Structure formats: C-alpha cells, structure tokens
Amino acid sequence: MSQDWDAGRLDSDLEGVAFDTLAVRAGQHRTPEGEHGDPMFFTSSYVFRTAADAAARFAGEVPGNVYSRYTNPTVRAFEERIAALEGAEQAVATATGMAAIMAVVMSLCSAGDHVLVSRSVFGSTISLFEKYFKRFGVEVDYVPLADLSGWDAAIKANTKLLFVESPSNPLAELVDIAELAKIAHAKGAMLVVDNCFCTPALQQPLKLGADVVVHSATKFIDGQGRCMGGVVAGRSEQMKEVVGFLRTAGPTLSPFNAWIFLKGLETLNLRMKAHCANAQQLAEWLEQQDGVEKVHYAGLKSHPQHELAQRQQKGFGAVVSFEVKGGKEGAWRFIDATRLISITANLGDSKTTITHPSTTSHGRLAPQEREAAGIRDSLIRVAVGLEDVADLQADLARGLAAL
C-alpha cells in the first residue's frame, strides 16, 4: 500500500446525507484495490516501514494500526458507521454487549464512585453491577426507571454515572431521557443509555442529552442472530478512556463479526420499520385475547408512557411482553404449545423468539429483585421478527389454547 495513497473519488462524499445513506456508506475507506464492498482484515498485527515508524505508532504520535486487539480496519469501519448513526464523536466496538457495559464502567469509574442503575435492566447487567463492580469498590443503587424525582433524590456527591435501558427489557418501560440528562448534569454526573431495543434507527439518546450510548450489536444491529458484539458511543474525550481499557484488557470485537454488523446496518432502518409494524399488530391482537391479563408495549394507547414513546422514539420497537393466566405453569404451557416461534432468549432476530424471563434472562436474580423489576412468573416476552403476522398470531393462539 502506497504511503501517499488517497482514495479520492473512490470514497463517497457523505456531507449532509440522510440516515439511510450513512447506514450503507459511512465508515468505508477503500483500499488501493478499489473494492466496492467492505473488506475483511484478518490479521493480528501490522507491519511498519521502519523501527521509527513502529515506535511512533506505539506511542500514539502518528495514526495507524498497531495490533488488532484495539485497532483493525474492519472494526474501525463499523465504529465509524455507528458513530455517524448515533451522532457521536466516536464509537468503540467490543466483543459483546456486556463487554460494552463493562468497558464503560471500568474506564469511567473508580473505586469509591457511585453509580445509579435503573431497576428495569437486563438480568446480566444487574449481576455485573452486584457481583463484580461492587467487589471493586463501586457503590451501586437502584431507582425505578420512570421516577425522575427518585433519580434526583438518589444522586450523591460521588455519583459518577446514571445507567438506564429505555425501553427496558422486557417490560418496555421508558424514561424521559432529556429530563434525566438534565438531572444528571445538574449534579455533575453522566447519563449512560442502553439503546439496544431501539437502535439509532428509532432513538438517538445523545441528541436527547445522554453522554454515552451502549449497544448489544448481537441484537437488531446484526438482525439475523449470527454474531456477538457490542459498541459504546459518545464524546471523544470519554471514548479515549474506553479505547485505553480495550487496549489493555482486550474484550475486542473480531473483524468477521464487525463485517457482519456492517452488513446488518445497511438494512437496519428497513428492518426496524418492519419489526415495529409486526409488533404493533401483534400487541393489539394480544390485548384482545382471553387468557392475556396485560400487554406491555409502548405502541399501545393503554401503555402509561405511550405519549413519551411517541415523543422521543421514531417507533415503538419489536419486543412485546405479556402476562398470562396461570402463573409460571400457565406461561410454560403457553410457550411449549407454540410450534413456529423459536424458544430462545435472544432477540433482534428476523425470526420471532419467545421466552420466559423469570426463569431465563432474569433467572439469576433473587425473587425480591425480580419482583422489584416487575418480572412476574406469568410474564412472557416475544421478540417479534419479520414473519407474516397472521402466522405469528396463529402460533400464539396455540399457546392461548393451552392455558
């Protein structure tokens, strides 16, 4: 590769382009081969022209790749595309979504710092804070997601981060991100938003005032349940610290998985619109069925935060949760009676999935922790895919007949 190589016309001019164009083209920097598709760079290390060149790159004095634990061209293309879609100065990719959360806390917090976490977060997120971060001296407290006054009252002098999922898993609860950001900033804290359920196609928390966004790219960013990965996005000042953590600790995204996610982003907006349309129809149908006691979906007018969802999201998402008669036994009978939908705890797939949160994704939580988070034994979560809605309704009708 020539040191003076300039892609010129081979790279796209993206000045002022729209979301869908960024999702297809942002982050690609073509090589002298002139490839049209995104290349995959399978290499652990990189060669240098001279010893002085190597020393300058290792010292960070000149840009360039050093080692694929923390810099790789394919991964960088994915990071730049996510940053463009989220409106971030920089994004940093990680091996999983949980690794993204770990990287944020490990790079931005120290022993003695205080973190406030929403009660309505993924079970593994609670375990990460409770079992591991607390062990290393990070103080952690929990606040009901939508209770803005509760957040304000719980902030201490040493509070460093507020961490939320909005919408939450699996109840689709929301918080007013703009108002919560104001509360955090007024007291010198940062707001971190897990945007996994919406993706930047439906919600851009940084534009609402959040400081950091995290994703499990394993979900809708991939879109077909193929690979695991995560990403953190925010201001360069903060992301520099996250890069430093990755460089040392190494929870690194593989180039192949980054390439898969690049392909997923190309269809993200189209897929999210289709997911939302299917989920809306299914939620409205479920709300009318005998045997269903309550449906949790922000697209329903019965949802207590329907208006907030309309205001801060471009769509209501693909996850529909509902409570059935008969408690755990009824929920299991319902799930076991389905024949089309996949029984798996993953979500964001083109294939619809069904799971029982209290014994899977939130099963490691103590009963009182599940109760506090609203995860009842009667709750079922469906992550709505891209199949024909009539077929999904027919399959869920099998579950209803088993109650």
At residue 371, the pLDDT reads 77
pLDDT in tens, 343-389: 998 999 999 999 999 998 777 777 877 877 788 999 999 999 999 99
At residue 5, the pLDDT reads 60
pLDDT in tens, 258-316: 999 999 999 999 999 999 999 999 999 999 999 999 999 999 999 999 999 999 999 99
pLDDT in tens, 33-82: 888 999 999 999 999 999 999 999 999 899 999 999 989 999 999 999 99
At residue 7, the pLDDT reads 62
At residue 4, the pLDDT reads 59
At residue 364, the pLDDT reads 73
Which of 115-119, 141-145, 365-369 is predicted least confidently?
365-369
At residue 1, the pLDDT reads 41
pLDDT, average across residues 143-172: 96
pLDDT in tens, 168-186: 988 889 999 999 999 999 9
At residue 372, the pLDDT reads 73
The number of helix segments (H) and strand segments (E) in the chain equals 15, 12
CA distance 224 to 265: 11
At residue 122, the pLDDT reads 84
In 285-363, the DSSP E strands lie at 292-296, 319-324, 342-343, 353-355
Candidates 187, 152, 181; CA nearest to 164 is: 181
Judge whether residue 399 has pLDDT over 80.
yes
pLDDT, average across residues 207-223: 98
pLDDT above 70 covers a percentage of the chain that reads: 98
| Alpha helices (H) along 46-147 | 51-58, 73-86, 97-108, 123-127
Judge whether residue 2 has pLDDT over 70.
no
| pLDDT bucket at 31, cuts 50 / 70 / 90 | confident
CA distance 300 to 16: 35
pLDDT, average across residues 319-327: 96
At residue 3, the pLDDT reads 52
Judge whether residue 124 has pLDDT over 60.
yes
CA distance 134 to 151: 20
| pLDDT bucket at 17, cuts 50 / 70 / 90 | very high
pLDDT, average across residues 87-105: 98
Judge whether residue 6 has pLDDT over 70.
no
Rounded to the nearest integer, the mean pLDDT of the chain is: 95
CA distance 203 to 176: 12
pTM, to two decimals: 0.94
pLDDT in tens, 234-254: 999 999 999 999 999 999 999
SS3 content of the chain, % helix, strand, coil (to 5): 40, 15, 45
At residue 33, the pLDDT reads 82
Task: List, in order, residues 6 or more apart from 17 with CB less than 8 Å away.
Answer: 25
Judge whether residue 324 has pLDDT over 60.
yes
